[in-house]
Amino acid sequence: MIKIGDIVKLLDATPGDHRSLGTVMRCNVYESSSYAQEPVIEVAWSSLAVGWVLESRLEVVCEAR
C-alpha cells in the first residue's frame, strides 16, 4: 500500500515523460462507474509538477519511514 512520503515512479511512463520519480503528498479515492473507487495518489514529481495518478500506475521505489 502506498503511503504519504513514499518515493514512487510511474509504471507506464512514455519516453520524455517528466514524471520519472516523485514523492507521495496525499492519498484519496477516485469514484467513477468505470473504476469503482480506485485509489488515487497526489505526487510531487522531480520535475516540480504535482498531479493525481491512479495507484495502479505507480510503483514504490523507496518507502517512507
What distance lies between CA 21 and its chain's CA centroid? 9
Least confident of 24-28, 34-38, 59-63: 34-38
User: Contact at 8 Å (CB) between 22 and 6?
Assistant: no
Is residue 37 in some structural domain?
Answer: yes
Is pLDDT at 36 greater than 90 in this prediction? no
Other CB atoms within a 10 A radius of the CB of residue 10 amount to 18
Q: Which grid cell sits at 17?
A: 515523460
- Provide, rounded to the nearest whole percent, the portion of the chain with pLDDT above 70: 92
Task: Identify the pLDDT of residue 57.
Answer: 94
Is residue 26 in some structural domain?
Answer: yes
The pTM of the full predicted model, rounded to 2 decimals, is 0.86
Task: Identify the domain containing residue 57 by its residue range.
Answer: 7-62
What are the tens digits of pLDDT across the range 49-61? 999 999 999 999 9
Distance CA 64, CA 14 (A): 26
Is residue 1 in some structural domain?
Answer: no
Domain CATH for 58: 2.40.10
Total number of domains constituting the chain: 1
